[in-house]
Amino acid sequence: MRKFLLLTLISLTMLLGGCAELWAAKQGAAAHAEQAADEALNTILFSLCGAMPVGAVNRRFKTEEEKEAYQEVCALL
């Protein structure tokens, strides 16, 4: 009986330890995904607002409403 209890305790400890490691790995992956998403958004905004030639912007955003929307987005930088 003692052997069974000892084996059960060891098994539960290993199981819970494995869950903690899995949780830590998921947290690390989530943090990396958040960082990658932030960098992607910054790259998109820079490309759209900082690196785009004026002529390309004028050809794409023709109406006054579109130009104002573009200016509002770029004002966030």
User: For the whole prediction, is pTM greater than 0.85?
Assistant: no
Q: Quick one: pLDDT at residue 77?
A: 78
Of 70, 76, 75, which is closest to residue 54 (Cα–Cα)?
Answer: 70
For residue 67, give Cα distances in angstroms to 6, 25, 36, 60: 72, 44, 29, 9
2-54 pLDDT, tens digit per residue, is 777 666 766 656 666 666 666 666 677 777 888 888 999 899 999 999 999 99
Band the pLDDT of 60: cuts 50, 70, 90: very high
